[in-house]
Structure 1
Amino acid sequence: MTDPVRQEGHTVAGWIRERRLDQCRHDLADPLLAARPINAIAARWGFTSAAHFSQAFRSAYGLSPRQFRQQCVAVNAD
C-alpha cells in the first residue's frame, strides 16, 4: 500500500507541521478566540517557540500570525 503522505512528496514531519499550522490559522481566524494570545494558540498546537512559529507561519501563508489575525478581524468587521 502506498503512503499518501510520501506520494505527495511530503515527509511525515512536514505533513504534521502543515496540519498544526492549519489548526493555528483556523484558531487565529476564529472571532471567538480573538482575545487569546497568539503564543497561546501556537502552544496549543505544539509550537513551543514563538519565533519558530512566526517564521513557519509566515513561510506557509505569506503573513505573520499577527498580520493574518488583523486581516481576519478587518474582514469580520465589514
Structure 2
Amino acid sequence: MLVNLKIWTPDGDVLQTDIENQEDLVRELRATGQKYCCRASDLDYQVGDGIRVVGDPTTNDRSIEASGLTTADETL
C-alpha cells in the first residue's frame, strides 16, 4: 500500500512522493538530504496523515521514525 510522504526542505519547500515501506522512507530522506547538503535526520517529514516529525541535528539517520510502515520484506 502506498502512502504519501511530505518532506520539508531547508529552503522551506515541501516535496511530496509516495512510498511503500520503511526502506523507501529512509531512501527518500537520504536522497533529499544529499541534494540539500544536510543529513536525513535534519529534515522534517510526515508520512500519510501522521504527525509531522521534526528533524533533529543532534541525531543520526538510524533514529528516523518509521513506525507504522512495513519493511521491504513484509511487502513482498
Task: Please say whether Structure 1 and Structure 2 have the same fold, judged by a TM-score greater than 0.5.
Answer: no
- When Rg is computed on C-alpha atoms for both structures, the one with the higher figure is 1
By relative contact order (CA 8 Å, sep 6+), the higher-ranking structure is 2
TM-score (norm 2): 0.30
Q: TM-score, normalised by structure 1?
A: 0.30
Determine which structure has the larger helix proportion and give its number.
1
